Chains A and B, each alone.
Chain A
Amino acid sequence: MAVKFFGQFLLEHHAVKQEDLLKAIELQETTNLKFGATALAMGLISLTSFERVHNAQRLEDLKFGDMAIKLGILTEEQVKQVLIRQKNNHLYIGEALVRIGALSSEDLKHYLDAFKEDQAPYVVDRIVIPAEVSHPQVWEICADLTFKLLLRVAGLATRTTAGQISDTLDPLFQAAIMPFKGTVQGRYALCVTEATRLAIAKAILKEDSVAGEAEEVLNDTVLEFVNIICGNIAAKSAQLGVSFEIDPPYMHPSSAGSLNAQPGEKILTFPIHVADGDAIILALFIKD
């Protein structure tokens, strides 16, 4: 019912033991070398250059390959060669389990097919993201999984229009916000109406009626819903090789006024029309 790591799926289905999974992860870690270590193993850089790139990365947020190009240590062609080597030699968790004898090749095929079926609802549909934003694939996942989880978790059928860039945002009844940090920086915000808050509360609490529930509980259900969406976004992004951290979510009530872009941020908004005529907003505060 969520975006999963293949190893987690195998554990859930009792296909492997926890200790075998840990052994396989260790094998992956020793086999799948990072970019710098791969370049070193290929003889493309010296240990001194390797350390020089690392030191420069402490001062500027660039990937190893990009920094090596900037310092004149590697050419673009050599960076491509390293990436190809990394891709070709990558040991996936399923193969690692077969290699240590914890899973047969036949079982791997069977569980991979079942995993693909389990994860099919989370395959990202094409959503147009303006060209000028960084990490467009992550923001595409944000929009896509929001629509999918609104339907799967909250039972809300939605339709949206193309994303628009703006400087300010009306939080509607309230906005639940989750900060992203690390490789991807920004804030995810879901601005909901009171009607949508109630629909989310019913779904999260699994109750037919939430009349009489405290404000604190109703708000908490929206925060938890955003926590679920963002956790799944982080998982899906990690599958694509982009890892980032999320902080606990917080609420911005309409009484606190509009939400504005901070310096270096732009707001990408998606108006979302909910089936019963209600309209909410997904807003992505993207920091470049």
Chain B
Amino acid sequence: MKKVLIVDDSIAVARQLEKILTGSEEFEVAGHAKNGAEAIKMKQTTRPDLICMDMNMPVMDGLTALRTLMAMDPNAKVVMVTSLGGVGDKFAEALRLGAKTVISKPFDADAVLQTLRDL
């Protein structure tokens, strides 16, 4: 079973993603970081296989965290799950920084699972 670290300042989104992931029986939740800085710490302590990360967060935003995470581990598999996914510039920047793909909110369960399976 693959371990997924959820990075989002929203408790509601974390709950939604956790429900989708655990319901599939293919993934388990490694932890929930509420901002980019927490994600960097939790990446080291929880050693997830995949990271689902928001872009717009307080303390440290998702793109700044993505840059650091990829510098720490160039093989990290990060998917951005964000309401800003449809903004072309943000999308391109995320891919350039090493994100595998970007999923726009609102998302549906099947699209999230399929994307994670494909990684």
Contacts and interface: CB of A to CB of B under 8 A. Distances in A.
Contact of A205 (B9, B12, B58, B103): B12
Interface string B17-31: 001000000000000
B101 A11 contact: yes
What secondary structure prevails in chain B residues at the interface with A?
mixed
Contacts of A247: 56
Interface residues of A, number: 43
Nearest to A21: B95
Contacts of A227: 10, 56, 83, 105
A4 B95 contact: no
A205 B83 contact: no
Contact of A235 (B12, B19, B86, B92): B86
A5 B10 contact: no
B15 interface: yes
Contacts of B108: 1
Contacts of A205: 12, 15-16
Contacts of B19: 206
Contact of B105 (A7, A12, A228, A238): A228
Contact of B83 (A25, A204, A230, A238): A230
B104 A4 contact: yes
A217 B86 contact: no
B48 interface: no
Contacts of B87: 5, 231, 234-235, 238, 243
A246 interface: yes
A12 B111 contact: yes
Interface string B52-93: 000011100000000000000000000000111111110110
B106 A5 contact: no
B92 A3 contact: no
Interface in A1-19: 1-5, 7-8, 11-12, 14, 18
A4 B88 CA distance: 8
B26 to A, nearest CB: 19
B105 A2 contact: yes
B10 A223 contact: yes
Contacts of A246: 56, 84
A144 interface: no
B11 A216 contact: yes
Interface in A167-222: 201, 204-206, 216-217, 220-221
B13 interface: yes
Given A205-B16, A224-B10, A231-B105, A5 B56 contact: no
A269 interface: no
A266 interface: no
Interface of B: 9-13, 15-16, 19, 56-58, 82-89, 91-92, 95-96, 100-108, 111, 115, 118
Interface of A: 1-5, 7-8, 11-12, 14, 18, 21-22, 25, 93, 149, 152-153, 201, 204-206, 216-217, 220-221, 223-224, 227-232, 234-236, 238-239, 243, 246-248
18 contacts: A1-B107, A4-B104, A5-B85, A5-B86, A5-B91, A8-B86, A8-B102, A204-B12, A216-B11, A220-B10, A220-B12, A221-B12, A227-B10, A227-B56, A227-B105, A231-B82, A234-B84, A243-B87
Given A8-B91, A22-B96, A231-B104, 16 more contacts: A2-B107, A5-B91, A8-B86, A8-B101, A153-B106, A205-B15, A206-B19, A220-B11, A224-B12, A228-B106, A229-B83, A235-B104, A238-B87, A239-B88, A246-B56, A247-B56
